[in-house]
Chain A
Amino acid sequence: MSPEAARAVAPGATVALPRPTVAVGEATGRPRRPRWGRLVVHLLLVASVAVIGFPLYYAFVISTQSLDQVIQRPPRLLPSTHALENYVEAWRRSHMGRLLLNSMIVAVAVAAGKIAISMLSAFAIVYFRFRGRQFVFWMIFITLMLPIPVRILPTYEVIGTLGWLDSYAGLTVPLMASATATFLFRQFYLTVPNELCEAAQLDGCGPLRFLASFLLPLSWANIAALFVVLFIYGWNEYLWPLLITNTDEMRTVVIGLERLIPRSGTELPTWNLIMAGAMMALLPPVAVIIFMQRWFVRGLIESEK
């Protein structure tokens, strides 16, 4: 873990990773070369990667096979040549374009919305003294104890009353209130030195300008990290879209995929299409993790309340 990441695990973070009491220049926490050989370690790691990667590899392989190859015995473990037609057919059958669009909209909107709302709330809680401040704080805290399953039936009714069933509003807005993100920003703002705010006020800076010109630039790292984590959360969310959407046009990809599974024996076992669909469904969030790995790891560690 890089030093700036270590520093960013700020005071007030609720999981204290063991803090190194070492002199500068000494510490990355990795032990000396083990006696039993680097080779063994590499072998074991490669084996781990292989085991962990096998399901995905297998899914990919199946997605490239024709139906006959899928059901043949013994199972083929090597890729075949039917990838293009499978992906095209899976795309067509499940209206994948629409599903992916919906998932993208939900993931981005939820991530952006959560961050925006939480920043504003945290800012208000930290930088103002107002009546009901404690009340608001506890109100937000209590939402931690009300996960979706605890309120599904009535929430469904509320969404229905608002006319938000089968709508982007219904899919995204209710997910935008987050205690975790709010507390995260709150903690972060608490670490910002007072002097900064005093100086800004002396310069005649109003609160909103302070937020935009001073806090925001400082927060980019946190925001980026959070965005990555929340994007993945929004993309993979299952129960909520299942409740809210009834029509094929509004479903997200993780739910739309379930529709492709043949449940009755007279439907053809088109697992190659399903795996193709699964690959398309998991690609965006996995790509995000791979390419934004550093932000992601940081975001995880920051937001573990």
Chain B
Amino acid sequence: MRMRVRRIGLALAALVTALAPSAALAKTDIQFWIGISGQLAETVETQAKEFNQSQPDYEVKVVRKGSYAETLTAAVAAYRQRNPPHVVQVFEVGTQTMLLSGAVYPVYELMQQHEIKIDWNDFIKPVVGYYTKDGKLYSMPYNSSTPIFYYNKAAFKKAGLDPGKPPKTWKDVEAAARKILAAGAAKCGFSTGWPSWTMVENMHATHDQPFATRNNGFGGVEGVELLINREFGQKHIGQLAAWQKDQVYSYGGRGGAADPKFINGDCAMYIQSSALIGGFTRSVKFDWGTGELPHWGPPYRKATSIIGGATLWVLKGKPQADYRGVARFLEFLARPDQQMWWHVNTGYLAISNTAVKNLEQGYHFVRNPRQYTAFAQLTGLPPTPPAALKGRTGPAPKPERVATPNSQGLRLGNFVQIRDVIESELENVFAGKKSAKQGLDDAVARSNALLKEFAATYKQ
């Protein structure tokens, strides 16, 4: 009799366990909203899948929400309705908005509270500097890039230039452009993408010139004003406008609109995000190389460039238990092997020094010299990867760039609109409708109004 009861009891227990939704086995969902699409998005999804398979407790769900702007808007709306995602990918120009939002769970705090150790010092300084407040990291760097210089080696050869030596100064660029035009190797010397990011923000940074007051906005929100209409800004933009006249420079539109000019061989040189290396590898038919951003030389110091791309922000308002999973996911992404995998598969930078060193020691940069340029430019490393120099004699090449307060990045409110304003005025200058001084002055006036408006929205 007892045996029977026992057996029935066991059977029942087994039945109940089988039928119960097994709360112990169900994974907690982590909502991860991204603002990229296409192949890059698929890479994110692959990475998330690997995390999901590596542990039994949490399931990261990647949701594509459209462009960066649309994703941010969706996150804002969701947050207001008290149903935000756990993690959202926000572009770098949204940093100030996120920092002041009161909706963010700072990454350093998250890691601290879940006792997950991350060596913050291992991260590349320019990347971390952009997202640090009071010495603490608020957002997790994820897909960062920096603008670099691309050039058409075949066109260089045709013009009698050394295809292994990209021009380093703007004067060299001009000379190369003129030679190329004279030889008929291309229709224009060089073009640019993301005009504000490459020609205004990064030019000021790499020449150690301030972009805005209050330490480029890092010092606070009140009273910040732009400084791009000073001597350096006028000189550089004025020169671009002059070059536009004889096709040494050819303005091709905003964002990536000018990409076809380089891909088609119309322009022999091009300044755009390092993230395009992957895309160019697939679509460019001629032999091409990368170099660092051109520089005007003395009296300007040569400083590191600033980053672009996006980072991951953790939002408040989710159940406490979920955040452990978020912390573990971010820790996963920060591992050097994940960093290396990400870099190799997307062209975005690996952001920890350890990862860079590993890549370097694996001769990755020797095999893919183009991908080294961005690192060198951001961190001030010597332009040739050390592994490539093994066996050579002579003094080690010195780092050519320094990190200065002006090259840590920008922290401005309404930055999306400000970029829009700057690019509109640049278009006026390049179309010959305004002088460089006039255009820059107007850009500064309009941007300052936007900054004031932003400050007024957050007045406490």
Q: Are A246 and B66 closer than 8 Å at their CB atoms?
A: yes
Q: Are B77 and A160 closer than 8 Å at their CB atoms?
A: yes
From A246, A247, A264, contact of B256 by CB (8 A):
A264
A2 at the A/B interface (Cβ < 8 Å)?
Answer: no
The 0/1 profile, CB within 8 Å of A marked 1, for residues 76-119 of chain B is 01101100000000000000000000000000000000000000
B255 at the A/B interface (Cβ < 8 Å)?
Answer: yes
Q: With a 10 A CB-CB cut-off, give which of A160, A165, A266 has the most chain B CB atoms.
A: A266
Chain B interface extent, by class: 20 to 34
Q: Are A266 and B65 closer than 8 Å at their CB atoms?
A: no
The 0/1 profile, CB within 8 Å of A marked 1, for residues 101-145 of chain B is 000000000000000000000000000000000000000000000
Q: Are A266 and B283 closer than 8 Å at their CB atoms?
A: yes
Chain A interface extent, by class: 10 to 19
Question: Please, which residues of chain A bring their CB within 8 A of the CB of B276?
Answer: 266
**Closest B-chain residue to A153, C-beta based?**
B77
Q: Are B263 and A267 closer than 8 Å at their CB atoms?
A: no
Interface set, chain B 232-277, CB cutoff 8 A to A: 255-263, 276
From A156, A259, A263, A265, contact of B263 by CB (8 A):
A265
Q: Are B74 and A246 closer than 8 Å at their CB atoms?
A: yes
CA distance A269 to B259 in the complex (A): 12
B64 at the A/B interface (Cβ < 8 Å)?
Answer: yes
Question: Please, which residues of chain B bring their CB within 8 A of the CB of A269?
Answer: 260
CA distance A266 to B260 in the complex (A): 7
CA distance A246 to B83 in the complex (A): 15
Q: Are A266 and B64 closer than 8 Å at their CB atoms?
A: no
CA distance A266 to B256 in the complex (A): 8
CA distance A263 to B38 in the complex (A): 12
Question: Please, which residues of chain A bring their CB within 8 A of the CB of B261?
Answer: 265
CA distance A165 to B77 in the complex (A): 10
Q: Are B255 and A264 closer than 8 Å at their CB atoms?
A: yes
Shortest A258–chain B CB gap in Å is: 10
Q: Are B77 and A157 closer than 8 Å at their CB atoms?
A: yes
Q: Are A267 and B64 closer than 8 Å at their CB atoms?
A: no
**Closest B-chain residue to A245, C-beta based?**
B66
CA distance A268 to B264 in the complex (A): 12
Shortest B68–chain A CB gap in Å is: 13
B29 at the A/B interface (Cβ < 8 Å)?
Answer: no
Question: Please, which residues of chain A bring their CB within 8 A of the CB of B193?
Answer: 265
Contacts A246-B66, A266-B283 given; does A161 touch B260 at CB 8 Å? no
Contacts A246-B66, A246-B70, A247-B63 given; does A265 touch B259 at CB 8 Å? yes
Question: Please, which residues of chain B bring their CB within 8 A of the CB of A268?
Answer: 283
**Closest B-chain residue to A269, C-beta based?**
B260
Q: Are B80 and A157 closer than 8 Å at their CB atoms?
A: yes
Shortest A251–chain B CB gap in Å is: 10
B279 at the A/B interface (Cβ < 8 Å)?
Answer: yes
Q: Are B65 and A265 closer than 8 Å at their CB atoms?
A: no
Q: Are A161 and B64 closer than 8 Å at their CB atoms?
A: no
Interface set, chain A 133-165, CB cutoff 8 A to B: 156-157, 160-161, 165
A304 at the A/B interface (Cβ < 8 Å)?
Answer: no
A198 at the A/B interface (Cβ < 8 Å)?
Answer: no
CA distance A165 to B75 in the complex (A): 13
Q: Are A265 and B66 closer than 8 Å at their CB atoms?
A: no
Q: Are B66 and A266 closer than 8 Å at their CB atoms?
A: no
Shortest B62–chain A CB gap in Å is: 12
Q: Are B65 and A246 closer than 8 Å at their CB atoms?
A: yes
B280 at the A/B interface (Cβ < 8 Å)?
Answer: yes
Q: Are A266 and B280 closer than 8 Å at their CB atoms?
A: yes
Q: Are A265 and B258 closer than 8 Å at their CB atoms?
A: yes
Question: Please, which residues of chain A bring their CB within 8 A of the CB of B78?
Answer: 160
**Closest A-chain residue to B78, C-beta based?**
A160
Shortest B331–chain A CB gap in Å is: 28
The 0/1 profile, CB within 8 Å of A marked 1, for residues 291-322 of chain B is 00000000000000000000000000000000
Question: Please, which residues of chain A bring their CB within 8 A of the CB of B74?
Answer: 246
Shortest B279–chain A CB gap in Å is: 3
Interface set, chain A 249-270, CB cutoff 8 A to B: 259, 263-269
Question: Please, which residues of chain A bring their CB within 8 A of the CB of B70?
Answer: 246
Q: Are A263 and B256 closer than 8 Å at their CB atoms?
A: yes
Question: Please, which residues of chain B bring their CB within 8 A of the CB of A267?
Answer: 38, 279
CA distance A86 to B65 in the complex (A): 26
Shortest A166–chain B CB gap in Å is: 10
CA distance A268 to B279 in the complex (A): 10
Shortest A31–chain B CB gap in Å is: 52
**Closest A-chain residue to B263, C-beta based?**
A265
Shortest A261–chain B CB gap in Å is: 12
Interface set, chain B 3-48, CB cutoff 8 A to A: 37-38
Q: Are A265 and B262 closer than 8 Å at their CB atoms?
A: yes
Q: Are A265 and B64 closer than 8 Å at their CB atoms?
A: no
Given A157-B77, A160-B77, A265-B261, list of 6 further CB < 8 A pairs? Answer: A160-B78, A161-B81, A264-B259, A265-B256, A265-B257, A266-B279
Interface residues of chain B, those whose CB is within 8 Å of chain A, are 37-38, 63-66, 70, 74, 77-78, 80-81, 193, 255-263, 276, 279-280, 282-283
Query: Can you list 8 pairs linking A and B with CB atoms under 8 Å apart?
Result: A157-B81, A165-B77, A246-B66, A247-B63, A247-B65, A263-B255, A265-B258, A265-B260
Identify the 8 closest CB pairs spanning chains A and B, nearest first.
A265-B259, A266-B279, A264-B256, A265-B260, A160-B81, A265-B256, A246-B74, A246-B65
